[in-house]
Amino acid sequence: MSDARPVHVIGARFGLGGRCAGTAEGPAAIRGAGLLARLGAAHDCGDVATGAVARMPGRDPGAALVAEFERAALELRAAVERSLAARALPCVLGGDHSLGAATQAAVGRAARAGGRPVPGIIWIDAHTDANTMESTPSGNLHGMMLAALHGLDVPPFRRVVEGGLRDPRRTVYLGARDIDPEEREIVKRLGCRVIPPEEIERRGAAEVAREALAIAGGDDGGVSVSFDLDSLDPSVAPGVDCHVEGGLSWERAAAILSVIGAAPGVVAVEIVEVNPTADRESRTARLAVEAAALLCGR
């Protein structure tokens, strides 16, 4: 990505999608770890935030929580669309990963509005986030948004993804290793490419990153990128909600992000699931800063 392209930093203080509201403080932690100085000439567009809503027990998150999530997600979608219309690179800071429905739908909507091909997705995460309300064992919204973006009916996301659906055959998962059984079947049926950590280790980060760009970029080269800090091993990034052993080392992740961030077709990036209440000495927040810088080509 050219350094001449402006970067718009958009905070997404989302804390309703998982089980820990601490992720809502992720954007502040990332900024506090030196993000703006690291990015250089970036414009801070401020934050979009979810309010405090009690979650219902069990798998159903409850109508009040879903309504508040939808309100904030539509606001975030509009913010990302404004950034794209200004020909900037939106860099969305999270916050729990349910915010991805808004960011990724905005990319799809903007491409269609401009008569351009809809970019593919590179999703760097311990999870595939492709559950539906029927398959989810937890009811967590941050585990369902890609099912909705890929055209499956997930009621809490219906309005958010409207007009912004993405092609699952152009979605590549990097680092996924914690996939629910029914979710695995969904991902397989949709035709997404899943590259787990052991394959990355065997083949090398650069080769895998190039494959991801080739699949997600298609003929036009356009991609949006979502980086969840739980893609890293918990020993590296303790400040996340969902700790899953066997994750990427920072060296592997940085190599992947460097290759992707140098690609000219990157149209939007997300850095998500930083939970400062679980972090140690801001280690995870500092890695989030470096991830953002690499994906923004800095």
CA angle 30, 127, 240 (to 5 degrees): 30
| Whole-Å CA distances, 141 to 29, 60, 164, 245 | 22, 10, 18, 22
- Cα–Cα distance, 271 to 295 (Å, whole number): 9
Pairing of strands 223-228, 120-124: parallel
Tell me how crowded residue 194 is: count the other CB atoms within 10 A of its CB.
18
- Cα–Cα distance, 120 to 122 (Å, whole number): 7
Catalytic residue numbers read: 97, 125, 127, 129, 142, 228, 230, 273
| DSSP secondary structure letters along 73-137 | HHHHHHHHHHHHHTT-EEEEEES-GGGHHHHHHHHHHHHHHTT-PPPEEEEESSS-----TTT-S
Phi, psi of 170 (to 5 degrees): -110, 25
Q: Which residue, among 51, 64, 50, 52, has the nearest Cα to 14 in the 3D structure?
A: 50
Cis peptide before 95 (omega within 30 of 0): yes
